[in-house]
Structure 1
Amino acid sequence: MILCIAQVLPPDLLEDVVRRLEDARFVDGARTAGWHARLVKANEQLSPADAAHADLIRRINAAIEGHQLFQIAARPKAVRPVMISRYTAGMEYGTHVDDAMMGGIRTDVSFTLFLGDPASYDGGELVMEGTGGEQAYKLDAGSMILYPSGALHRVEPVTRGARLAAVGWAQSLVRDPGKREILFDLDTARRAIFRQQGKTAEFDLISKSTANLMRLWAES
């Protein structure tokens, strides 16, 4: 399942993040890539030594982990601290798949949180590759896309301006992406019923099925 979530960062936090990144120190992004991804990765990442690093990462992670749609789509067991990346003219990230393990957690769900106004740069689309073809994504600032970590993807070359984004990974309580999608659909349906009709018998049955599927599929 690929899911786009609007306005993950509130406007005041987004504005503060972008402002503080203007004078921040960035380093070669290839340092954090695996041996094969390093061959196609040409970007920059916010330096851990930068004064703003710890605070920005903490606040961005808190906004992501606190978002309801992220919770019901990813079913996170553990979430890695995000990395803030920057692509300027000529930079790109060729086709790759994310490492299966990062920082001691299995990567099941990957996410890219766009920080810059899409009109401020050309290129830089996130392209997901699959058996049905390719799909390009370039979301509004503050919006985020979730996708399975095992999917091939790339970032198209930036030809003007700078592409800013926060990228991260989560280990899910439900390893299989197809099962996560079933749970997401059921949870979405039951929430819609509750908003429209309240706590009905139909809501109770879907809630029961959702909870029992979690019992069957969740890894403690």
Structure 2
Amino acid sequence: MLAHIQGALDRQEVDVLREAMAQATWEDGASTAGANAGEAKRNEQLPPDSEISRALGKRLLSSLLANPAFVSTAVPLRIYPPLFNRYGVGDHFDPHVDNAIRGDAMTGARIRVDLAATVLLSDPDEYEGGELIVEDIYGSRRFKPPAGDLILYSAGSLHMVTPVTSGLRLASFLWLQSMIRADEARSLVCDLDESIQELAPRVGADDPDLRKLATVYHNLIRYWGDA
């Protein structure tokens, strides 16, 4: 699965997050790289267990869960607390695959990592380089979207952030366990939900065919949900 959700955060929310991040203390980003990716990663992050990281993560997550496109695409069951990073000149993250399991030291919660998401908090004209590249069945996809956009992709996909050559790239990143494990099934459910949302204003919520589609949608989640 690979999805680009435009405007997942509005500009006001982006500005609030950035203002708080500007006052924060940062640390080496290697602590969340995983055992196989530490040497390939060079950036900074807000300390994951710090008060500011947790507070900003809760705020960001509240906005994402209120976004119908995000919920429809991810079908989230559990979400690892969002983290925040920044890439300065020379920073990068070489090609890697995310760990399959993530544990939160503060709560003891563990999740199976089905999906990863990157929320950009800098606009493209604020930095050079720093593209997110994700490999999927169609080849390499490159992303450098406006601040507030979210890129959602399978955590098992090979992905990277190219070296930043000027400016500063700010972002949030998070991992999710979906109610539907299989990418193909999740994509079909998402497509069906989008069709329902498009049809509803035209035919009315009481349309019998629309109700049938909605029934199929909910039963597919019951059938494919294995979390």
**Aligned counterparts of 1:58 and 1:215: Cα–Cα separation in 2:** 28
The 5-angstrom pairing of residues 91-170 of structure 1 reads 91-103=91-103, 104-170=110-176
Could you say if the C-alpha distance between residues 33 and 212 of structure 1 is closer, same or farther in structure 2, counting changes exceeding 3 Å? same
Structure 2 match to 1:210: 217
The 5-angstrom pairing of residues 1-220 of structure 1 reads 1-48=1-48, 52-103=52-103, 104-199=110-205, 200-219=207-226
- 1:61-107 C-alpha deviation (Å, 9 max, x unpaired): 11112211111111111011111010000000000001000011001
More off after superposition, 17-26 vs 69-78? 17-26
Relative to the length of structure 1, the TM-score reads 0.95
- Matched residue SS, 1:7: coil
Give 5+ residue unaligned stretches, structure 1.
none
Instruction: Quote the offset at 1:53 in angstroms.
Output: 2.4
Which amino acid in structure 2 is aligned with residue 28 of structure 1? Answer: D
Instruction: Quote the offset at 1:131 in angstroms.
Output: 4.4
Could you say if the C-alpha distance between residues 206 and 165 of structure 1 is closer, same or farther in structure 2, counting changes exceeding 3 Å? same
Instruction: Quote the offset at 1:208 in angstroms.
Output: 1.6
Q: Is the 8 A contact 1:114 1:166 kept in 2?
A: yes
Residue identity (%): 34
Which amino acid in structure 2 is aligned with residue 55 of structure 1? Answer: A
Instruction: Quote the offset at 1:132 in angstroms.
Output: 3.0
Structure 1 match to 2:106: none
More off after superposition, 187-196 vs 176-185? 187-196
Could you say if the C-alpha distance between residues 54 and 73 of structure 1 is closer, same or farther in structure 2, counting changes exceeding 3 Å? same
More off after superposition, 54-63 vs 154-163? 54-63
Question: Aligned pair count?
Answer: 220
Relative to the length of structure 2, the TM-score reads 0.92
Q: Is the 8 A contact 1:24 1:50 kept in 2?
A: no
- Matched residue SS, 1:21: helix
CA-atom RMSD in angstroms: 1.4
**Aligned counterparts of 1:51 and 1:20: Cα–Cα separation in 2:** 12
Could you say if the C-alpha distance between residues 149 and 7 of structure 1 is closer, same or farther in structure 2, counting changes exceeding 3 Å? same
- 1:106-154 C-alpha deviation (Å, 9 max, x unpaired): 0111100000111100011100123432110011101101111111000
Which amino acid in structure 2 is aligned with residue 13 of structure 1? Answer: E
Give 5+ residue unaligned stretches, structure 2.
104-109
Instruction: Quote the offset at 1:49 in angstroms.
Output: 6.5
Instruction: Quote the offset at 1:51 in angstroms.
Output: 5.4
Q: Is the 8 A contact 1:8 1:143 kept in 2?
A: yes
